Amino acid sequence: MNFINNNFIDIFSKGWTLYEFLLNILFISLLIIIGSIIYWDTINRKISNKSRCKKQRDIYDKNNGVYILNVKNKIGNNLFNIKYDFEKKIQGIDCTCNKGNINCKFEDINYRNLKRNEDIKTEKVCSCDNVYTYDKDNAIYEGSPELIRYMINKKNIIFYNKNYFK
């Protein structure tokens, strides 16, 4: 036992050669680099999972270049979607409320006509499971932030001009 303790003490008491010193520096450097990569990757994953812009871009890519604005009432029930396809210059409004036998008339829906490049108000009748009303002042909009800005303030048409004149 005494022999093992003496060898152990001898290892730490004698000096290092240049080769051992360089190997230690290399090993510590590799640990720091690997730790930095893991740390960066963790932060990058958190940001990409929470990023509103990335989520909207993924939805845009998934829908083959069609921007979709989901409109909900203040309780959070889906009412309708407004779709904009800038390549084909078409837009549309689709019902997204739960299907049922009650006709709900959503009035004063503002949207942009892409062929004429002008603002239009329209109405949409949907067959829903419950009576739903659309109040543009209390509606919840989900979609591209620029589309949401347009729905809140009709004068903000930067989004359309940016995509219309590509």
Residue 22: left (phi > 0), alpha (psi -120 to 50), or beta? alpha
Residue with tokens 């407004």: 82
The predicted model gives 8-19 an average pLDDT of: 72
pTM, rounded to two decimals: 0.62
* Amino acid occupying residue 123: E
**Amino acid identity, residue 155?**
K
Q: What is the pLDDT of residues 55-104, one digit of tens each?
A: 766 666 666 778 888 999 888 899 999 998 878 888 899 999 999 899 99
Residue 160: what pLDDT? Answer: 67
Q: Is pLDDT above 80 for 161? A: no
Calculate the average pLDDT of the chain.
82
- CA distance linking residue 56 with residue 62, whole number of Å: 10
